[in-house]
Amino acid sequence: MFELLDILGTMAFAVSGALTAMNKKMDPFGVLIIAFVTSVGGGTLRDILIGRTPVGWMLNINYVYIILIGFAFAMIFRKKLDRFRTSMFLFDTIGLGVFTLIGLEKGLEKGLEPAVCIILGTVTACFGGVIRDILCNEIPVIFRKEIYATICIIGGIFFFFLKSLHIPEDVLYLMTSMIIIAIRLMAVIFKWSLPTVQKD
């Protein structure tokens, strides 16, 4: 199930990146590159930070195939994707939860402190989108209005709280991912956002 959610999240991120690139009127190669960095940019940055090389997608070619499928899907159905907007949002939200967990686990494997693991989880889940927006000449969305990164941090804190209670690993993963998904859904439904900081 975890692997299936990882696949769905990766593909959703690829489609999201491809659509952003198409909105910027990029050529097909540019669309592919943006789809690619949106999907694996956060994980690549995480692996570089912890000295894990070759990075994850280089060791598992299936990620490349998943991204190519997401890219092709976006290119073929680009005019009809509005109908799938809800589904894509759901997969994107699932990806947020799964990628946060993956980042947390990679930090734990390296024996890092909980705070650092939470940072790695946030980087894994969010920084593909940050790189996407920078390459598309935009201020990253998570720095402007969405509470994407904040959700990952809350999920990471919740993860370590549950871990301290010695909850079984499967339940720990499920509950953490569910809290991240639930907060993300509520943030969109109720239009939660952090206040902006303006210079007086």
Cβ atoms 93, 178 nearer than 8 A: no
R_g of the chain computed on alpha carbons: 17
Amino acid at 153: I
- For the record, the structure tokens of 73 come out as 């899907």
Q: What is the pLDDT along the chain (200 residues), one digit of tens a residue?
A: 667 777 877 888 898 888 889 889 999 999 999 999 999 999 999 999 999 989 989 999 999 999 999 999 888 887 776 666 666 677 778 888 889 999 999 999 999 999 999 999 999 999 998 999 899 998 887 777 668 889 999 999 999 999 999 988 888 888 998 899 899 888 888 888 777 777 66
Burial of 110 (0-12, 13-18, 19+ CB in 10 A): middle
The pTM score is 0.87
Among all chains, which residue has been given the structure tokens 């007086």? 200
Burial of 49 (0-12, 13-18, 19+ CB in 10 A): middle
